[in-house]
Structure 1
Amino acid sequence: MSNTLYDRDLQQWIEQTVEQLRNREFGSLDIEHLIEELVDLGKSEKNTLRSNLTILLAHLLKLRVQYDVPDMMKGSWYSSVLEHRQRVLNNLADTPSLKSYLVEALEKAYPDGRKLAIKEDKLAKFGVRVPQESEYSMICPFSVKQILDEDFYGV
């Protein structure tokens, strides 16, 4: 097993690397691990966007498919839509280059969002109708514009 600073204490490695960059000590940089961390950072940004889209899509679907549930149940879905849409909008504002990844992220997030909505809806209680899986479109029924529209709730 390797016993480099990177392997022993990632936070200390980061602080050291930042200091080396500030001091322009390029020759002493741990280039391989620096590249690895930068690649992971990019993946993390994409994963965050996809994760927020998954939950946003799941709750937009629930609002569309389970339109007949009591308002009390819908309230939490509306709140989740608001929260996760804002997170998506923040992701895109903070990292504008993610806009070019948005369509791909939606294509990856929709099947997971659909699956999540179906699983959550199977847990329905209080005599609420449990929708059939066929009621959840296999293809995302929402456009990018609708998904990002702060006044759109899928209904």
Structure 2
Amino acid sequence: MTNTLYHSHLQLWIEQTIQQLQNHEFESLDIEHLIEELVNLGKSEKNTLRSNLNIFLTHLLKFKIQHDVPDSMKGSWYSSVIEHRQRVLDNLADTPSLKSFLMEAVEKAYPDARQVAIKEGKLAKFGVRVSEDSEYPITCPFSIGQILNEDFYGL
């Protein structure tokens, strides 16, 4: 019954599982799917953190490497850094266990952030200098302290 419910109506299965846990009806639990959902929940939290770091690090890199672009181009970068840093801080506040994953998340997000920054940098217009790929560090040039510092913009 619970196996069928899990596949046909996930939200109802979750509500039922919560009720069973609250009532200490452990023998009735769909353990296999409960474990699967908990594992996926952990992955989802980590993926959200990595995704926010990816966008955030992309714009920090652009500030660092493309620092000579006109201020009119930097406006959206500032907004993105502010927004995604706040999302990272919220991720860490909402799920404190992610703090132990932060360094690994930065290491996983940075290569993609670097590639996006390089690709976006090559789209430069209006006489803006196109940076060489080699100008973008292979490893993340920002410390965890800088990443979490609300006044740091990579400049």
State the shift of 1:127 in Å. Answer: 2.8
Task: State the alpha-carbon separation in 1 of the partners of residues 29 and 126 from structure 2.
Answer: 60
Q: Between Structure 1 and Structure 2, how many residues are aligned?
A: 153
Q: Which consecutive residues of structure 2, in runs of 5 or more, have no partner in the other structure? A: none
Write out aligned runs for 1:14-25 (5 A): 14-25=14-25
In structure 2, the partner of 1:69 is 69
In structure 1, the partner of 2:130 is 130
State the shift of 1:24 in Å. Answer: 2.1
- Give the aligned residue type for 2:43: K
In structure 2, the partner of 1:13 is 13
Deviations 1:107-154 (A, max 9, x none): 111111101111222222233222111110101111111111100000
Residue 116 of structure 2 is aligned to residue 116 of structure 1: yes
In structure 2, the partner of 1:152 is 152
In structure 1, the partner of 2:81 is 81
Task: State the alpha-carbon separation in 1 of the partners of residues 112 and 26 from structure 2.
Answer: 43
Provide the secondary structure at the position in 1 that maps to 2:55.
Answer: helix
Q: Which consecutive residues of structure 1, in runs of 5 or more, have no partner in the other structure? A: none
State the shift of 1:23 in Å. Answer: 2.2
State the shift of 1:67 in Å. Answer: 0.9
| % identical aligned pairs | 76
In structure 2, the partner of 1:50 is 50
Task: State the alpha-carbon separation in 2 of the partners of residues 99 and 21 from structure 1.
Answer: 28
- RMSD over equivalenced CA pairs, Å: 1.3
Greater shift, 7-16 or 137-146, is seen at: 7-16
TM-score (norm 2): 0.93
In structure 2, the partner of 1:92 is 92
- Give the aligned residue type for 1:137: P
Task: State the alpha-carbon separation in 2 of the partners of residues 21 and 143 from structure 1.
Answer: 42
In structure 2, the partner of 1:102 is 102
Provide the secondary structure at the position in 2 that maps to 1:4.
Answer: helix
Task: State the alpha-carbon separation in 2 of the partners of residues 35 and 107 from structure 1.
Answer: 28
